[in-house]
Amino acid sequence: MELQKLYSLTRKAIDAYHLIEEGDKIAIGISGGKDSLTLLYALSGLRRFYPKHFELVAITVDLGYENFPLTGIKALCEKLNVPYSIVKTEIAKIVFDANKGKNACSLCAKLRKGALNNEALRLGANKIAYAHHADDLLETMMLSLIYEGRFHSFSPKTTLDRTNLTVIRPMMYLWEADVIGFMHKMNLPVVSNPCPMDGITRRAYVKDLIRQINRENPGTKKRMLTAILNTPMDDWPELFVV
């Protein structure tokens, strides 16, 4: 994926759901994976020419695993002129030692988001950007259908009641294949996920399921995305641009 396409699809989502307003300070959650590093590139580039002025900070929540090198990410943030903050935690120890691995994924997500939100507030941010892409939208919808019995996916923009932080998802129009192509083209300093649960979650199962359905019925993923975007959902903001 070319850089211009990244800017174009990211801006399409921002304009469609009014994700960025004048004077915003946006914290980008950097996990170390290809998605968050692609989002870092997208927003740092758009910052130069988007008509509404906004600031950026990048935040990584270090869960406390060994072998989690962040030198490359630090260098990329310096190159893109984005301040970078690392939050040291013992979340891994809490999840797998103290809690014996029970409900590991949900507990980890809760603690990780809490640490990210607290650091964003400390740095004066009013928004947090997550790097969820179109495939994530589909997977969340399928998880909701299979395990909750409802048609739903996460919203492009959500205000967190306890903090008044707004979560935005500017990459919702990008497919994972686009991100993978961009990762290789730009040689992004991706850090492997050290979590022992990586790849064996319900989401991983649903990802494989969608891949199989789309392989057997080409175009299914695009039709599923269209269904999500065209279905009214209570917590979704108004669509301003189609």
Instruction: Examine residue 50 and state whether it is found in any structural domain, yes or no.
Output: yes
Q: How many domains does the chain contain in total?
A: 1
**pLDDT value at residue 108:** 81
Cα(89)–Cα(201) distance, integer angstroms? 23
Instruction: Examine residue 230 and state whether it is found in any structural domain, yes or no.
Output: no
Instruction: Examine residue 231 and state whether it is found in any structural domain, yes or no.
Output: no
The structure tokens 């740092």 sit at 44
Helix 176-186 with 34-49: angle, nearest 10 deg: 80
Give the CATH number for residue 111.
Answer: 3.40.50.620
Instruction: Examine residue 80 and state whether it is found in any structural domain, yes or no.
Output: yes
pLDDT at 158 over 80: yes
**pLDDT value at residue 194:** 73
Q: What is the pLDDT of residues 98-117, one digit of tens each?
A: 655 556 777 888 888 999 99
Instruction: Examine residue 19 and state whether it is found in any structural domain, yes or no.
Output: yes
Instruction: Examine residue 125 and state whether it is found in any structural domain, yes or no.
Output: yes
Residue span of the structural domain in which 23 resides? 3-134+153-194
pLDDT at 142 over 80: yes
Q: What is the pLDDT of residues 25-76, one digit of tens each?
A: 999 999 999 999 999 999 999 999 999 999 999 999 988 788 888 999 999 9
**pLDDT value at residue 242:** 45
**CB-CB contact of 139 with 40 (8 Å):** no
Q: What is the mean pLDDT of the chain?
A: 90
Partnered with residue 29 across adjacent β-strands are 59
Instruction: Examine residue 139 and state whether it is found in any structural domain, yes or no.
Output: no
**pLDDT value at residue 140:** 94
Q: Which alpha helices (H) appear in the chain, and where do they start and end?
A: 3-16, 34-49, 71-80, 91-93, 104-122, 134-148, 176-186, 202-216, 220-230
Cα(43)–Cα(128) distance, integer angstroms? 12
pTM above 0.85, yes or no: yes
Instruction: Examine residue 122 and state whether it is found in any structural domain, yes or no.
Output: yes
Cα(211)–Cα(177) distance, integer angstroms? 12
**pLDDT value at residue 96:** 73
**pLDDT value at residue 23:** 96
Cα(66)–Cα(129) distance, integer angstroms? 26
- Mean of the pLDDT values across residues 139-165? 92
Q: What is the pLDDT of residues 162-195, one digit of tens each?
A: 888 999 999 999 999 999 999 999 999 999 877 7
DSSP string, 230-242: HS--TTSPPP---
